[in-house]
Structure 1
Amino acid sequence: MMTNLFSVFDPTTAFNLSLNWLSTMLGLMIIPMSFWLIPSRHYILWNKMLMYMHMEFKMLIGMKNINKGMSFMFISLFSMIMFNNFLGLFPYIFTSTSHLTMTLTLALPLWISFMLFGWINNMNHMFIHLVPQGTPTVLMPFMVCIETISNMIRPGTLAVRLAANMIAGHLLLTLLGNTGMSLNYILLSFLIIIQILLLMLESAVAIIQSYVFAVLSTLYSSEVN
């Protein structure tokens, strides 16, 4: 039972093909079409959303680094994760963001680049971050250990948070969907309503988790400057 349940997250079981990771690139096929046409409602809505995200990340990063184009990197990260989360809600489309292979590939290089930049260019600033302001002298060695561990597990928490939220919602939808064949018409109608509500919840989770991933990455980058 457990093998069949988790097989929906196996990229090699569906249709005996290993091409499911191509779903990561489906968003690239959707976005550029709007740029070849006269500005439409879709393009205007997308542009407004990007400008809102730019203003949001600009406040988190700081005005001195916004001219370097850092906000566009996080906007692209947010867009990519959001598209993959939404595409995973469609039947027979592989959810790449439910795998640690994908989420760690996004989180680990970002964290390593932030740490290298911070320790090479702002070493004193990085040492200051290890001891919070107002810490008693007796507790300083313990705070350094705690801050070091919390800093080292950041890429893991980013990756696991995104993957776990995607897996949890899909597992719940799969579990409820498998019980539909053994229900009568009245219970089946309730099940369909619950599935629709869960799909709406998962749509919100798809946006929230991509936003959380991008915002936390932005906050981690602002700490090394």
Structure 2
Amino acid sequence: MMANLFSSFDPSTNFNLSLNWLSVLLGLTIIPPMFWLIPSRLSLLWIKIISTLHKEFKVLIGNNNTQGSTLIFISLFSFIMFNNFLGLFPYIFTSTSHMTLTLTLALPLWLSFMIYGWINHTIHMFAHLVPQGTPPVLMPFMVCIETISNIIRPGTLAVRLSANMIAGHLLMTLLGNTGPSLSLMLVNFLVITQILLLVLESAVSIIQSYVFAVLSTLYSSEVN
């Protein structure tokens, strides 16, 4: 028996090993061969997804001197989506359900945008603190609100991803634990429910990686 429900997400719980974080690197064994083979439907689909994301991120960033910067966010999207999908397989550690990984991705990214913006575009960054059309009386309050909302951005990025990942897994764990005590008829309904939840989690895996990448792109576009 586990000490509590959340211990099933503990990286050191399963088999008493802390090597579960190596699941983050499993993509290195699967993705590279795609680039050395004759283009298959899978690789053509992936190229289509990448080109679509590139066009969308280029519009969000703007036509500044940022050639190749979309590749950062496409790589971020690919990395998060792959790890989200890996977590849907049994006995594979879901690294993106931990703040350790999500905050490690969000904090340096946001910090680099802030440092770059405040050093190179100081006036532009100050102008962002007061929205256009704000009455003079409300300007001090708006500066405080905008500063706080700016500071909590990496936290919201990290919490949004980890919370969405852990919520679905937790629901599936709760339903799965009730299986042995149910009758045969209810087990059939449980299996159907678990399959539907798995489909939902697959959609959430794509959506959350897309949201993380798009918000990171929007934050970078504000500092130019």
* Structure 1 Cα separation of the partners of residues 145 and 29 of structure 2: 44
Give a deviation string over 1:111-131, Cα, whole Å, max 9, x none: 100000000000000000000
Match of 1:89 in 2: 88
Q: TM-score, normalised by structure 1?
A: 0.97
* Structure 1 Cα separation of the partners of residues 2 and 167 of structure 2: 14
The structural deviation recorded for 1:4 is: 3.4
* Structure 2 Cα separation of the partners of residues 162 and 51 of structure 1: 24
* Structure 1 Cα separation of the partners of residues 63 and 177 of structure 2: 52
Structure 1's unaligned 5+ residue stretches are none
* Structure 1 Cα separation of the partners of residues 66 and 188 of structure 2: 52
* Structure 1 Cα separation of the partners of residues 34 and 130 of structure 2: 49
Give a deviation string over 1:75-119, Cα, whole Å, max 9, x none: 000000000000000000000000000000000000100000000
Match of 2:28 in 1: 28
Match of 2:41 in 1: 41
Aligned-partner residue type, residue 106 of structure 2: A
Q: TM-score, normalised by structure 2?
A: 0.98
* Structure 2 Cα separation of the partners of residues 170 and 128 of structure 1: 42
Kindly report which structure 2 residues correspond to 1:198-213, keeping only aligned pairs within 5 A, or say none.
198-213=197-212
Match of 1:214 in 2: 213
CA RMSD of aligned residues (A): 1.0
Structure 2's unaligned 5+ residue stretches are none
Match of 2:189 in 1: 190
Kindly report which structure 2 residues correspond to 1:131-146, keeping only aligned pairs within 5 A, or say none.
131-146=130-145
Q: Percent identity?
A: 77
* Structure 1 Cα separation of the partners of residues 136 and 194 of structure 2: 55
The structural deviation recorded for 1:3 is: 3.1
Match of 2:13 in 1: 13
Aligned-partner residue type, residue 185 of structure 2: I
Kindly report which structure 2 residues correspond to 1:151-190, keeping only aligned pairs within 5 A, or say none.
151-190=150-189
